[in-house]
Structure 1
């Protein structure tokens, strides 16, 4: 099997797991305003820990958060070494979203899959990015 075929097989094998991971992220509301994003960071860190990753938690000081008109922010940093002397790659995503507004036909925090489509806040941007980055790191 070529490296590409191995990677393709890994992605196929773990696809449903990635969808479940994304569903878990979507189920933690992160509307901004009000900007209470620490619970999302906590849940993300828990999910990453279950995969064997240690996410460093960096809480933004309350005074800075309040000055920005928000309630809580915790940044996560996940590091994975692939070898000595190699390049560093930084992947960046956010978990907050604007409030859902009206017109939803599915729970905006449900992460429901219907006819092969997932519905929920940030499934495309940026909780979807967090899921994609996480599984890309695992696949490598």
Structure 2
């Protein structure tokens, strides 16, 4: 989480918002320092001397060769609420709870979106033109 508990801000409110942190007057060399283990998972951008960090609420990780459920630790460290893994034509949904990530069967906010339905369309998209995929 970009906002830490020592700041005099409402954490309940902030946890419901996108969190963005901007640093102005920066150089490209400063930007390159953000390419480290400490900032994995953040979206980091550089434009006109401003470095912007945003942490996502949802991460979709597509695993072709390396990667596993162990990656949940890095997402938990920065407070990512939802993580979806796609590996071997299977999708699993995880949601961050107080005790860690829990595997779930459908999206809390997209209640009609189950992992089975998403798998069906993603896997069809790998073998057919997206223009002819039907429900």
The structure with the largest strand share of the pair is: 2
Q: TM-score range by the shorter chain?
A: under 0.3
By percentage of residues, which structure has more helix? 1
Task: Return the TM-score normalized by structure 1.
Answer: 0.22
